[in-house]
A and B are shown apart, each in its own frame.
Chain A
Amino acid sequence: MTAARWGLLLLVLVCAIAAGLALGPVAIGVGDVARALTGIGDAQVVAIVRDLRLSRVALAIITGAGLGMSGAALQGTLRNPLAEPYLLGVSGGAAVGAVLAVVAGLSMVVALPVAAFAGAAAAVVLVLLIARAASGRSDPRILLMAGVVVGAFANAVIMVLLAGAGEGTVRNALWWMMGSVAGADWPTLCWLAAYAVLAGAALLTVARDIDLLALGEDAAAGLGVPVAMATRRIFLLSALLAAVTVAGAGLVGFVGLVVPAIARALGARRSRHVLVASAMLGGALVVLADVVARTVRAPAELPLGAVTALVGVPFFLLRLRKVS
């Protein structure tokens, strides 16, 4: 990818962040936003920008970057342009884990991503087992079907678990299943960011394995990749990234599908570049999706996952036509 394209990506991300801070039920000028960030200006504006919107934007970036990288890694490793954590049921598994932790009353900040990770990892294993039993991983459509089935099952489990939880539960079933980046506090954000950065960095170190696995398992083995171990590692890191996003923002679909495809269309071909570009684009996309979610029908908020699905489903159908 050319330096100009990287510059463009950075510009897109910066503009998205600016829009995320400026736009909402109350529109604020970019200059006022910049002043409010440093604590200068109207107290109410400062409160909106620093207390409400900054944390939203931060969580949106973590969520988008995590989903983008997770999707990019899964697509390369599975040789499947339709792979992404939501459609593969990985996010659903993570949500079940997270909801179980909430229902069990575990402390939110540290335990939630861990519980979500356990659920995500279980979902990965389950989906691969189902796909293998039904014809092997090689058919991208079978794998996807297994993922959608596991995802539907996860949704049912979440509804059952939260039906008994009552009004007192902070986050309801709809929040988990449709996603939102509202209302995160800073300690939570720091934990999520730490998990995401670690998992993302680990994925970057195995990026060359992803390049080779994208040639096929035997070819990768011939090029020195310990296939079984490398594949497991990449799946677990992708699951961890998806889990972090689910713990922070619930189920946000299709970002992991759309973003790596755009990164590739922009000229990113080696996995390391695709991963980094997907993180940047994913962050920008979710920030913008959140802007749409909170402005279109203000003061009501649309679920974030509904906005990404409205963009993602037509995109998915286009891709599906290409694959088959």
Chain B
Amino acid sequence: MITVSQAVVRYPGARVNALDGASFEAPPGCVTAVVGPNGSGKSTIVRALIGQVPLAGGSVRVGALDVAVADRRVLARTLAVVTQREEPAFPLIVREYVMLGRYPHHGAWSALGPADAEAADAAVALAGAESLAWRRTDELSGGEWQRVRLARALAQGGEVLVLDEPGTFLDVAHEMAVFERLDTLAREGRTILLVSHQLNLVARFASQIVLLHHGRVAAAGSPSDVMRGDVLESVYEWPLVVSRDPVIGAPVLVPLRKR
């Protein structure tokens, strides 16, 4: 469970708040998507969750932990984040990389043991990355990398997963595969928070959409509540219509050409 209440973030030197009193909840057992135009505060939400930007007001909680005061390592055992372009500066074997997800469970000198190896193997299986376990990280394709990053995040063992633009650089099939996997993970009881540009994609997988605009929540609720023509048009400032997915009936946004 993620609880963001009245969160305010202001970057040094900025004239407006990046987050300006945003409040929402991401409950366990489903996918919650945070969407919004560029600069609406989506990435700031992620950075606030990992304590990389200080809150000027309000609070961000992960389960019972208050992010502002929680020990970073304790937080990392509950919350795992897949950032957009995480990649080791020097290549590792995939399994070694996944084992980095176990570091939050250890101090500086305590050795990683069989329990960690087990957790890493389970995470690799859950992310569908078994065939990649002994590959080098610098030899993975975009789709493979996304699975491996997911495995690393799952190895942290927490119940809360946050993913920043998980579909970037992926083709349609890989993108859909990642989202289907996230859907499965949510059904198993995890809290999944997606930050994404791709409204149409998240509308089909998320149970709840949070639409950010100028650091505030412009609309929140089920995809059909949020994906309304009038709401989206005023936020994105572009003429558009909302149609329906022919299979599951999820709303589909179609931005219009100008004549």
**Chain A residues within 8 Å of B, Cβ to Cβ:** 75-76, 79-81, 205-208, 211-212, 214-219, 221-227, 264, 269-270
Contacts and interface: CB of A to CB of B under 8 A. Distances in A.
B256 interface: no
B108 A224 contact: no
Contacts of B89: 75-76, 79-81, 214-215
B92, B100, B106: most-surrounded residue (chain A CB, <10 A): B100
B253 to A, nearest CB: 29
Given A75-B89, A214-B89, A224 B52 contact: no
B156 A223 contact: yes
A205 B110 CA distance: 11
A222 B103 CA distance: 11
Given A81-B90, A221-B72, A223-B103, A216 B108 contact: no
Interface string B142-164: 00000000000000100000000
Enumerate the 7 nearest inter-chain pairs by beta-carbon distance, A residue then B residue, closest first: A224-B76, A222-B81, A79-B89, A224-B73, A224-B104, A219-B86, A221-B50
B90 A218 contact: no
Given A223-B156, A224-B76, A225-B72, A269 B103 contact: no
Contacts of A226: 72
Interface string B58-88: 0000000000000011111101110101111
A197 B76 CA distance: 32
B93 interface: yes
B103 A208 contact: yes
A269 B93 contact: yes
B72 A224 contact: yes
Contacts of A218: 46-47, 50, 52, 81, 83, 86
14 contacts: A75-B89, A81-B90, A211-B100, A211-B103, A215-B88, A215-B89, A217-B52, A218-B83, A221-B50, A222-B50, A222-B80, A223-B101, A226-B72, A227-B52
Given A216-B83, A223-B76, A76 B100 contact: no
Contacts, number: 76
A218 B93 CA distance: 21
A76, A205, A222, A269: most-surrounded residue (chain B CB, <10 A): A222
B96 interface: yes
A225 B93 CA distance: 22
A178 to B, nearest CB: 31
Nearest to A214: B89
Given A215-B88, A218-B47, A221-B51, 5 more contacts: A205-B108, A208-B106, A212-B103, A223-B76, A225-B72
Given A221-B51, A223-B156, A269-B93, A215 B86 contact: yes
Contacts of B81: 218-219, 222
Contact of B76 (A208, A222, A270): A222
A222 B83 contact: yes
Contacts of A269: 90-93, 96
A270 B96 contact: yes
Nearest to A218: B83
A91 B103 CA distance: 32
Nearest to A211: B100
A76 B86 CA distance: 14
Contacts of A215: 86-89, 100
B77, B90, B109: most-surrounded residue (chain A CB, <10 A): B90
